Homo-oligomer: A and B are copies of this chain.
Amino acid sequence: MTRQTSPRQPRRRQIGLWLIGARGSVATTAICGLAAIRAGVTDATGCVTDSLDLSSAVFPGWGDFVVGGQDIAPTSLEKEAGRLAAAGVLPQSILPLIADELRAADAAIRPGYDPVTDRGPQAHAAARQIADLERFKQANDLASVVVVNVAAAEPPAADWPEYRELDALTRILASPAARSLTPSSLAIYAALQAGCPVVDFTPSPGLSLPAITELAQQRGLPYAGRDGKTGQTLLRTALAPMFAARGLRVLSWSGTNLLGGEDGANLADLGQARGEPQAKARGLTALLGPDVTAPLHVDYVPDLGERKVVWDYVSFEGFLGTRMSLQFNWDGYDAALSAPLVLDLARLVAGAHRAGETGPLSELGFFFKDPLGSTEHRLAEQAAALSQWVRRLS
């Protein structure tokens, strides 16, 4: 995005939005969408913040952002946007209208950390990323930079001692021999060291290591995560409370996800490996108690392209033991569901930072499958908490 100052807020400095995984489908959709909203060629359908009555004294507007980021992929944003348009995620017609903004964002993307080629102590890689962030901030005279992780999902974190406290982690990062952090955690470590609030939109280890949240706490930074709630879990957290509220006993909640997409194969494998089924079952347990059978599968079906097709079958017991069932199908574009939330989170976390909030922003649990700082999974309650928090800050 260009450095142009929004005409409505002439004196205020802009806010950076720094995307980890900036050339992926979610980031590209977010960048295109932000540009299209600013160009006035689309509205903010799918975004939450436009209906939240945000105080402009606290929260930045769509025009207040400058976009940059990092990625190890070399594909240009323009090319990725073209691919997404062919796949139905973006309308072809907006591409010429946002070409300049895409090029500007593309120019602001720096190489990410590649564990295969990036030798040497990880502290060096972190230092490079910190320098990139500071350069981005200075070059654009930014008030602050919100860092959002939307890079490809990584396997679950190992249980290593240096993950448990910051001192140990710092020592390991300095060691030339050891490479401990996954790319997502390393990028978030660097972001926090650079004084940036962070959003972790993925199920990667990212922000979840105690040593990393210790760093956020030490630096007095707010953060939010994790794992954007965009499809099956969104529906589950809207529907499971219905059964609970009506005293209906859910016996089983079986789910299948079919997904195409460039890294669908990876995700399907990972889904099993990193225990996504167990994680989602935990979510159901929080909502419905421990006795629900909840098998879950993730399948890679390349022809679906950027679509995600979900089937859930819920078997429940009602009055006098009657057996009944609910099933639903969801057919959506994951990137189109994620991208507007990424933009919402950038506004909200930038506002929280300006308002002096620190630590986990539990009131943003509305956006996440696995909300940091909160045990509330019910969607309506999360929406109410978000509204109230926005009012408090505004």
Contact = CB atoms under 8 A, between A and B. Distances in A.
Q: Interface residues of A: mostly helix, strand, loop or mixed?
A: mixed
A91 interface: yes
Given A329-B326, A381-B380, A302 B309 contact: no
A36 to B, nearest CB: 7
Contacts of A241: 238, 380, 383
Instruction: Name which of A88, A239, A246, A313 has the most chain B CB atoms within 10 A of its CB.
Output: A246
Contact of A45 (B47, B234, B247): B247
A337 interface: yes
Contacts of A193: none
Interface residues of A, number: 74
Nearest to A328: B328
Given A33-B320, A324-B331, A48 B246 contact: yes
A261 to B, nearest CB: 14
Given A234-B246, A326-B330, A89 B320 contact: yes
Interface in A81-103: 88-92, 94
Given A46-B318, A51-B247, A379 B91 contact: no
A250 B19 CA distance: 30
A180 interface: no
A250 to B, nearest CB: 10
A97 to B, nearest CB: 12
A252 B311 contact: no
A136 to B, nearest CB: 25
Nearest to A239: B238
A124 B271 CA distance: 49
Closest 9 CB pairs of A and B: A380-B380, A46-B319, A251-B303, A295-B299, A328-B328, A322-B336, A238-B242, A324-B332, A46-B318
